[in-house]
Amino acid sequence: MPSIAAQDAKAFDETSDAIDSVNALKGQIWNTASEFDASKDKTQFRQYEDACDRVKNFYKEQHEKQTVDFNIKARVDFKSKKRARMGVWQAMEMLNTLVDESDPDTELSQIEHLLQTAEAMRRDGKPDWMQVTGLVHDLGKLLFLFGSEGQWDVVGDTFVVGCKFSDKIIYPDTFAANPDSVDPVYSSEYGIYQPHCGLENVMLSWGHDEYLYHVLKDQSTLPEEALAMIRYHSFYPWHREGAYQHLMNEKDLKHLEAVKAFNPYDLYSKSDERVDPAKLRPYYEQLIAKFFPAELDW
């Protein structure tokens, strides 16, 4: 398996966590009468200003480099390379090497965050497919272990490439150095797309959401709502800010509801009580077996 320096893993996790902290604090939270979300004291998470410099620097790089050309190349690479073959729990254990000892919000490992997300859904009586979606939703961060170009093509809020960059994207001014922002086609409202073509037909900026969606859409029996939760959970300009309505179709309305139902469990599960992976493993392995083969191509 690919290896990664400990300091790189720590820097990756610090950036990823800072992005989550900003998203947890800056926006309005959609509430589906979830006991879990209603009971959270969101003031206890890291303050926006503490994460701001790291996040600004991250997004400056991401916004400059996420071009149409890069995204086409990333998808070609995805289809032409097999990075690993392993089961879901093995993938969780591999992701667990990205442990951030400096995280001020939690001392939890990656695997514990996944289990906390799933357990919060389980306590709220969510269906088994949603629980297992919570369990796997961040496995796309394995990209960082599989030779990504940096952090900017793994984590961060996602957005549509191939049309005008929305002013609803965080730090929109940082797109000025992206060559697509002055391309006559890519900078137009619809760009390479047709009105109301549906988000399933657009390219989202390449990262852990898009990667995992492509891994699982043909290798699982997850319902389309689950796949939408995975693909769009970092698509904040859309599900929080209301951008890209001119590209949406009716199916996207159902997907939007699903992503909004998922989001609180992802953002606000970190401060829950510690979980015991060994104790929970039998329960979640039987859920994994319902929706995934024994091994998947990554």
Which residues are annotated as part of the binding site for Fe cation? 113, 137-138, 208, 233, 266
The annotation places the binding site at 46, 100-102, 113, 137-138, 141, 156-157, 208, 233-234, 266
Instruction: Using the CB atoms, write b or e for 241-250: b if 16+ within 10 Å.
Output: bebbeebbee
Q: How many CB atoms lie within 10 A of CB 24?
A: 22
What is the DSSP track for 14-43? HHHHHHHHHHHHHSPPP--S-HHHHT--GG
Residues annotated within a binding site for substrate: 46, 100-102, 141, 156-157, 233-234
DSSP string, 142-176: GGGGTT-SSSTTTSS---EESSPPPTTSSSGGGGG
**Cα–Cα–Cα angle for 262, 234, 77, nearest 5°?**
125
